[in-house]
Amino acid sequence: MTTPLRFNAFVMNTASHIHHGQWRRPDARQHEFADVRLWIELAQLLEAAKFDAMFFADVTGLYGDADGDWSVYVREGLQIPSNDPTVLLGALAVSTSDIGLALTSNVAQSHPFHFARQVSTLDHLSRGRVAWNIVTGVQDNGARNFGLDRLTDHAERYRWAAEYVDVAYKLWEGSWEDDALLQDKDGWFSDPTKVHKIHHVGERYRVEGPHLPAPSPQRTPVLFQAGSSTSGRDFAAQHAEATFIIAPNPDVAAAQIADTRRRAVEAGREPGDITFYQGLSFVIGDTEEEAQAKAAEYERFISVDGYLAHSAVVDPDGRVYPPETLLKDVETNTAKGFLEWTRAAITDREPTVRDLARMSSGSTRVVGTPEQIADRIEEWQAAGVDGINVINWVIPGSFAEFAEKVTPVLQRRGLAQTEYAPGTLREKLFGYPRLNERHPAAAYRGAFDAPAARAEELTAADA
Ligand SMILES: Cc1cc2nc3c(=O)[nH]c(=O)nc-3n(C[C@H](O)[C@H](O)[C@H](O)COP(=O)(O)O)c2cc1C
């Protein structure tokens, strides 16, 4: 029995997200990203094709030695200008009914009390379709935009993330009991004995509570995570319901999936508690020759400067390493997972920073007919991948073409859903409404017994 894979449209609220230079193509409309109609049109196209979610990446600054020459980002529209995906998801929530809405937010950009409230609000607005891609950030400039001197050290970023999600779990899962909200026009709006302060006191945060929103359909959003270093895998193993990887090939993916699932079991979860989404982009032709010709056409628009800048591997002082630097000589504080993947994929020699940049653009590209693309996707599924984050070349064209030509082939093979399951995003993806009992957030259900007031005190006051 073939298991359908999950398909997310991997996008960003900017003109040049991953495949830099493609916004210049005549058929590209990603430069219209500030116009909500572009996104509503795309969301409805994806929903008609039964995509599982729109997955918005996001960053809070510029890559590389942005305090040096950062003109490349501005020239290339490389994630600047960019708009906030969290705000955009509100508009998409009211323009769709079933597709998931995933946003990326890093732990330095928003206080967890405020972020938890934003997410609960979106989960209410979308009737339970929000997901959060937990990231720790990758940019010195992105950190300096929030008062830090530079990007926090890699290991410390994950410790920070652990406290951040702890605060959010307490607010989402523990502050309000399930039957606290009454809305009784003859009595109380909510039962004060069932709404609790969380009194979080930690290394980075002190949060009294209670959570201001009443429980949303999912309470905790579906939890994605992106980060593939060993620290990233440990974090994913403990917290993620789904993790986003961009492995260079199915063998490297299989090894990472097995390792992360092993860590999940060590963390008290089950191997199936965590799913894996591989990032892939597609060049589709009715014939192999047509696909190859289209790939050559995309190559014509590629911005090498953009790829080098985006994969900017910076040294601890924030200086971008020269492209010919051997990766074994690189000491970086940013995304270590990409280095590990490059070194796992290129084993006949020591790879360089240029190899990493080239891999970022090419290794995830699948070129062929719809049937050949479906064959490749089956190979990734055989490696243990549960879903695909579809990376676009052009918006909306890349997704329109995938939906028209590849999705029907996948559906015929049982590799893509033909209908949405009922319920919230978590129910659609995993078959149950709340985080399961093995997730650390579950420990906070009923954990705060100091109600706003004791029932007997209130009864007396009421008398
Ligand atoms: C596939 C993938 C996608 C990522 N997307 C983002 C993103 O959209 N925004 C962001 O700030 N960081 C992103 N990151 C990096 C994360 O911030 C991560 O927490 C970390 O800094 C790098 O992860 P690693 O060193 O564990 O691989 C991504 C990392 C990976 C592997």
User: The tokens of 194 are what?
Assistant: 């069932």
Instruction: Output the pLDDT for position 1.
Output: 67
Instruction: Output the pLDDT for position 286.
Output: 98
User: The tokens of 414 are what?
Assistant: 């049982």
Task: Write the pLDDT tens digit of every residue in 254-298.
Answer: 999 999 999 999 999 999 999 999 999 999 999 999 999 999 999
CB atoms within 10 A of CB 430: 18
Nearest residue (by CA) to ligand 1, atom 24, is 227
Cβ(79) – ligand 1 distance below 6 Å: no
Cβ(229) – ligand 1 distance below 6 Å: yes
Instruction: Output the pLDDT for position 463.
Output: 44
- Residue 146 DSSP one-character state: T
Cβ(267) – ligand 1 distance below 6 Å: no
End-to-end CA distance of the chain: 63
For the chain, what's the residue count? 463
Nearest residue (by CA) to ligand 1, atom 17, is 137
Cβ(243) – ligand 1 distance below 6 Å: no
Distance 408 CA to ligand 1 centre (A): 32
Cβ(221) – ligand 1 distance below 6 Å: no
Instruction: Output the pLDDT for position 453.
Output: 55
Q: Which helix (H) or strand (E) covers residue 368, if one does?
A: strand 365-368
Q: Beta strand pairing status for 53-57 and 6-12? A: parallel
CA nearest to 289, candidates 192, 366, 369, 386? 369
- Residue 2 DSSP one-character state: P
Cβ(58) – ligand 1 distance below 6 Å: yes
Nearest residue (by CA) to ligand 1, atom 22, is 335
Cβ(145) – ligand 1 distance below 6 Å: no
| Arithmetic mean of pLDDT over the chain | 93
pTM of the model: 0.94
Instruction: Output the pLDDT for position 345.
Output: 83
Instruction: Output the pLDDT for position 454.
Output: 52
Q: Which amino acid makes up residue 232? A: G
Nearest residue (by CA) to ligand 1, atom 1, is 245
Cβ(136) – ligand 1 distance below 6 Å: yes
Phi, psi angle pair for 314, to nearest 5°: -105, 150
Phi, psi angle pair for 301, to nearest 5°: -100, -5
* Percent residues over pLDDT 70 in the chain: 96
Stretches in the chain below the pLDDT threshold 50:
459-460, 463
Distance 312 CA to ligand 1 centre (A): 13
Instruction: Output the pLDDT for position 27.
Output: 97
Task: Write the pLDDT tens digit of every residue in 326-367.
Answer: 999 988 877 788 888 888 888 899 999 888 877 777 778 999
Cβ within 8 Å of residue 77, ≥6 positions away: 14, 15, 16, 23, 31
Instruction: Output the pLDDT for position 66.
Output: 61
